[in-house]
Amino acid sequence: MRSQKLAERVVIIGSGPAGWAAAIYCARANLQPLVLEGAITEENRQAGTLPLGQLALTTEVENYPGFPAGNLESYLDHAIVKERRQYMVEHSKHGVSGPELMELMRQQAVNFGTRIVTDDVVKVDFSKRPFKLTSLSGKLTEAEAVIVATGARANYLGLPSEDAYKNRGVSACAVCDGALPRFRNKPLVVVGGGDSAVEEASYLSKFASRVFMVHRRDELRASKIMAGRARSNPKIEILWNSQLDEVLGNDREGVTGVKLGSTTGKSGSQHDASGVFLAIGHTPNTTFLDGQLELTDKQYIQWTTPQRTYTSVEGVFAAGDVADDYYRQAITAAGSGCMAALDAERWLAAQGIE
């Protein structure tokens, strides 16, 4: 039985590919989903967590199926409502950009009846149903089922020069950006020394002329097997005991090099490079859950059943990067958003809520 106050059937928190895929599936299943897409605040801007998610922070998206290179301009004009289209930057005429793809997903969810509130969830009460969600503006929403799709954010060092060249040579995702023409046959820099740094460097070595790994210590944090992979790759050179002090570049070319400092008091160095890839981890957006869902040791939401999006609380589901620190791609996030919607729909039906 639905609660007397008529709680929402399903509320989706988050507005990346996972959130919109979940919304499209829930809406088409007549669940009339409500999406809390995040707030437009300076804090979210600085953290990279504005509505539409991480993909909205990038330029070309070349690996999301269905968008081969081409001029989408007139399609975008027709597919996206005028009020939102007018604020989008001019189409690049080269496949789909991150912001365009995210607007298309949002629009598709709206077309099937999804309602959207532009606000952050700052507090949850999952102790009993209906679940309670408090937003930044102080509004309380009740829900029979919740899909958490709040994503994660890539960690950056916080250097002004790093910020200045984001999307112009500075990236936090080799799989996403490594194959772009600007990085091909050029020297590249990877910052970090863990498994994902080695993975990023190995991936980039397929395209780059040379990959410099910048690491603060004199041995890698990566597992033995991964460290061995880095050492045996002829294109990878590890710059030990070094740290990124400045990204060098100019308006025309973007990134042109890096200035490195020494962590052992020796003199620094300078290297030519067309790209700088940060591989110093991600932070999942789970703080607002305040311990009410089981998390992994890296603070990601723990999926409790293989091949399902169930969490430690029955009726609460998780989708996308907030629960996945391994694949971290738009397509996998969208895929698990679909799974969460189907899981929520079946769970609600089992409770007699249709």
- To ligand FAD, the closest distance from the beta carbon of 50 in angstroms equals 6
Cα 148-19-168 angle, rounded to 5 deg: 115
Minimal distance in Å, beta carbon 335 to ligand FAD? 10
Instruction: Please tell me whether residue 13 binds ligand FAD under the rule CB under 6 A.
Output: yes
Which among 26, 119, 120, 173 is annotated as catalytic?
Answer: 173
For residue 25, the minimal CB distance to ligand FAD (Å) is 14
> What is the distance of C-alpha 186 from the center of its chain?
26
The reply on whether position 288 binds ligand FAD by CB under 6 A is yes
Instruction: Report the phi/psi class of residue 308: left, alpha or beta, with left for phi > 0 and alpha for psi in -120 to 50.
Output: beta
99 vs 353 by CB, closer to ligand FAD:
99
Residues in 76-105 that interact with ligand FAD by CB under 6 A: none
151, 192, 194, 315: which one binds ligand FAD (CB under 6 A): 151
> Which residue in 235, 189, 248 sits closest to 213, CA to CA?
189
In the bound state with ligand FAD, the residue whose beta carbon lies nearer, of 321 and 343, is 321
Coil, strand or helix at 301: strand
Residue 82 phi/psi, 5-degree rounding, is: -55, -45
Q: Of 305, 278, 311, 268, nearest to 293 (Cα)?
A: 311
Binding ligand FAD (rule: CB under 6 A), the pick from 173, 220, 273, 316 is 173
Of 119, 120, 176, 324, which is the active-site residue? 176
Judge whether 340 and 318 are in contact, CB under 8 Å. Answer: yes
| The one segment of 51-59, 106-114, 206-214, 291-299 that binds ligand FAD by CB under 6 A | 51-59
Instruction: Establish if 109 lies at the interface with ligand FAD (CB under 6 A).
Output: no
The single-letter DSSP state of residue 33 is -
Least Cβ distance, residue 253 to ligand FAD (angstroms): 19
- Residue 157 or residue 331: which is nearer to ligand FAD going by CB? 331
Angle CA(306)–CA(25)–CA(123) in degrees, nearest 5? 70
The tokens for 89 are 């930057």
118 vs 87: CA distance, rounded Å: 17
Which of 96, 110, 147, 149 contacts ligand FAD by CB under 6 A? 149
Q: Is 338 a catalytic residue?
A: no
285 in contact with ligand FAD (CB under 6 A): yes
Pull the structure tokens for residue 153. Answer: 């954010």
Q: Give the torsion sign (CA, 108, 110, 115, 120).
A: positive
Question: Which residues contribute to the site for ligand FAD (CB under 6 A)?
Answer: 13-19, 36-38, 49-51, 53-55, 57-58, 61, 63-64, 120-121, 149-152, 154, 171-173, 176, 285, 288, 320-322, 328-331, 333
The set of catalytic residues is 173, 176-177
